[in-house]
A and B are shown apart, each in its own frame.
Chain A
Amino acid sequence: MQIKILRSETNTYQEYRLPAGEIPLLSALVYIKETQDATLTFSAGCRASVCGTCAVRVNGREELACAYKVKPGDVIEPLQYHFVLRDLKVDKDKAKETLKKATTWLQKFQEAPLTHEDEKRTEKQTDCILCDSCYSACPVFAVNPDFLGPFALTRAYRYSEDKREGDAKTIIDNVQTNGVWDCTLCGECTAVCPKGIDPKMDITMLRGTSLQHGHQDPSFAQQSFGGPDFGGGGFGFDPNGGF
């Protein structure tokens, strides 16, 4: 079978021939590098969907190379909204900066009685492997490169919901600018997450918490000045806020 891979040096798609058979894309990339073209560059780690290293785009959709079965005619490209270092290898530094901006860590520890139910509340969110698939799939980056993005917001939600967190307000305050309100709730992040995480839902939940902490949807606040259609304008009431 043949697949096409976007090469950064020429900015063209190069065709590679693979033996027939069902193999993970990562095995195909390794096979090409070892036997046909040592210059083909990509990142790889654990082979088992947990190290977050090998995400690429296949036919325009984000996939972990180690978890995707390669098919004839597949077109392989690097992640979007990342600076391409070489071929499929991208620079993840800018995406990782979003974790610092959103201050996604436990701000102030307090001892708490935790239960099985508490564990389940953010179990999915803590499955995140930082593969950047959601970041690549998020259309908001096309218009706002400073958006905090799905994985940082999911992580912010995870810590803000932790009963051991004694200062959730700081996290909530730090996800207001270029954060929860900039998301269009399109759900692309949720669709591509290899771990089944739902950042769209987490962002929706963060919006609710933001309102409880006295924040409001800035676009709504702006609209309400000139828009008498919004009955509650100026009182911080958000019809989309989940009340």
Chain B
Amino acid sequence: MVDILIIGSGGAGLSAALAAKEAGASVLVVGKMYPTNSQTSMAQGGMNAALGNVNEDHISLHIQDTIKSAHGLCDEDIVRQMCADAPKTIAWLESIGVPFSRLDNDKQGIETIAQRQMGGASAKRACYAQDYTGLKILHTLYDTCLKEKIDFLDEHYFLNIVTKDGVAKGATFLDIRTGEVKQIDAKSLVLATGGYASLYHGFTTNAYGSTGDGIAAVLRAGGAVSDMEFIQFHPTALKHSSILISESARGEGGYLVNSEGERFVDELKARDEVARAIFSQMQQGQRVYLDVRHLGEEKLMELLPQEVELCKLHEHVDPASELIPIKPVAHYSMGGIDVDYALEVNGVKGCFAAGECSNAKVHGANRLGGNSLLEITAFGRFAGENAYKHSIYASSRAADDVQLQKDRTEIEAIFAKESSINFYSSRETLGNLFYEKVGIVRENTKLNEALEEVIAMQVAHQQMGISDKNKTNNQNLIEFLEFKNALLLAPTVISAAIARDESRGAHFKVGFEEENENFKKHIVLQWKRESA
């Protein structure tokens, strides 16, 4: 039995692993891919910490900005903790060798780290490593995990939390390579499984695997999820591929224009406002473009080389001479697993959650750019430390194999079942449905239609299955299981959106365009256990 079982090997999982190991725990990190493949690698802009290296800044200002952006839905105590932890988290990343961008200021240590402006921030606060901040933090964390001899189990797909009397005792996994279903016993669990923006399949900047596997598992284990209706849309993704074009394109002076070539919004407003302005143009039949031509080829290659390449490859346009067709798409899920001040899952003791999968109530209705890398590292560590504390007193009696047998039976049933509906087309349908009816601008009639369609899809799900019957390395099976999770989470997003008759941050509803004090609360969802 391992002390701490960490599920998910992105930035949050690796930070938790390092903190738990440092505290003296035995640690195992399990992921469905390899550690450096995670969504964290895609974070570009930076990581917030009020260091004040470029201009005056204070932790209190960071707290203020975060609370403002959250539109009343954050927990101010935990925001305070995160913002106060930021400078020491940066110092920790500095000590393991993260190659941050630097200033020439004749200073030492973290005082030399360059900081840039991000939307909604009252100072230049985001520490960065060119346009690869997430990538470089993730890889340095991974190198450090190798140094600390952290054990990894790659290519294991997380199925379920094993619980006994509401306490986590381990988890079940499908070994993707062998097809075997396994149980791993642990004294504490840390979930770091990422967000659910891939519900918007085809309309998300996220990697294919961001299907909310951990959040769905928590629901199944009797735990709570909250704020599921809050999904951040990024204003500028490429029109045909939904590939992200970084906010820095606008930060550096890029314009947003419509088919007539007119600018229609202040490009540097908060993400939710800019996304809605673009959406409203599209509703009027306008096409929307990002225009960076006036920056000139030389400056573009210097500032946004990644973006220039991606435009050429995916959209067949050269940003130096042509307009870039864009649309807003799902980018980040604010909601997720409902956790308490120790990041312990409400409803499942001994199970902690950190990063995008968790709702620690720091982002509220709208996440501030630069706060997610901070959350995964600061709270990843915090979750690892707390999981260790729990493990000290946790019973070391292993759980029974009821869940394991159940999961084995279920996987066997999937293999045995004939499939008459191609779930890949359903996945696409769900993505379209979510973008159209549970998207940037919502209406109750459309949300109700969406809910009905999702329920119909859940019924039709019985006829869906896999056509690849190979036991080993069956990616078809993994994608089917991921889709099942997406389908399980879909109604939680829609029903919370229906219940919230107001507009707040990323949730905007026609007919209820103002914030309503009565809704200054979290919508928490939990499955009732039938007493059998």
Q: Which residues from chain A sit less than 8 Å from chain B, CB to CB?
A: 22, 24, 27, 33-35, 38-39, 41-53, 67, 69, 85-86, 89, 91-93, 96, 99-100, 103-106, 109, 111-119, 122-123, 126-130, 155, 158-159, 162, 164-165
Contacts and interface: CB of A to CB of B under 8 A. Distances in A.
B135 A50 contact: yes
Q: Name A's interface SS.
A: loop
Report which residue of A50, A117, A158 has the largest number of chain B beta carbons within 10 angstroms of its beta carbon.
Answer: A50
Nearest to B205: A48
Contact of B143 (A35, A44, A105, A113): A105
A109 B95 contact: yes
Contact of A39 (B42, B96, B244, B476): B476
Given A111-B108, A122-B99, 6 more contacts: A39-B476, A45-B37, A106-B97, A109-B97, A115-B102, A164-B95
Contacts of A104: 143, 146
B524 to A, nearest CB: 32
B contact residues, range: 35 or more
B147 interface: yes
A109 B96 contact: yes
Closest CB pairs A-B (n = 8) = A106-B97, A34-B424, A86-B473, A105-B147, A105-B143, A39-B468, A119-B102, A38-B476
B102 A44 contact: no
Interface of B: 33-34, 36-39, 41-42, 94-97, 99-104, 106-109, 112, 114, 129-130, 132, 135-136, 139, 143-144, 146-147, 154, 177, 207-209, 241, 243-244, 306, 309-310, 313-314, 316, 422, 424-425, 466-468, 470, 472-476
Nearest to A155: B143
Nearest to A87: B473
B36 A129 contact: yes
A82 to B, nearest CB: 12
15 contacts: A39-B468, A48-B310, A50-B132, A52-B41, A85-B177, A104-B143, A106-B144, A116-B114, A117-B104, A119-B101, A126-B132, A126-B136, A130-B34, A162-B99, A165-B97
B41 A129 contact: yes
A106 B96 contact: yes
Nearest to A31: B424
A108 to B, nearest CB: 10
A69 B96 contact: no
Contacts of B104: 115-117
Nearest to A121: B99
A106 B146 CA distance: 11
A183 B164 CA distance: 55
A85 B97 contact: no
A50 B41 contact: yes
A117 B340 CA distance: 44
Contacts of A105: 96-97, 143-144, 146-147
Contact of B42 (A51, A93, A111, A112): A51
A167 to B, nearest CB: 12
Nearest to A103: B147
A92 to B, nearest CB: 6
Q: Among the interface residues A103, A119, A158, A165, which one has the most CB atoms of the partner chain B within 10 A? A: A119
Contacts of A46: 39, 41-42, 207
A38 B466 contact: yes
Contacts of B310: 48-49
A89 B475 contact: yes
Contacts of B108: 111-113
Given A24-B314, A50-B42, A123-B99, A42 B475 contact: yes
Contacts of B103: 115-116
Which of A51, A92, A158, A159 has most chain B Cβ within 10 Å? A51
B243 A47 contact: yes
B238 to A, nearest CB: 10
A27 B238 CA distance: 15
A115 B114 CA distance: 10
Contacts of B114: 116
Given A46-B207, A48-B243, A164-B97, A113 B112 contact: yes
A84 to B, nearest CB: 10
B207 A45 contact: yes
Contacts of A34: 422, 424-425
Given A69-B313, A112-B108, A48 B244 contact: yes
A103 B310 CA distance: 34
Contacts of B468: 38-39
B128 to A, nearest CB: 11
A24 B106 contact: no
Contacts of A106: 95-97, 143-144, 147
A47 B81 CA distance: 35
B246 to A, nearest CB: 11
A133 B96 CA distance: 26
B41 A51 contact: yes
A112 B37 CA distance: 31
Contacts of A52: 36-37, 41
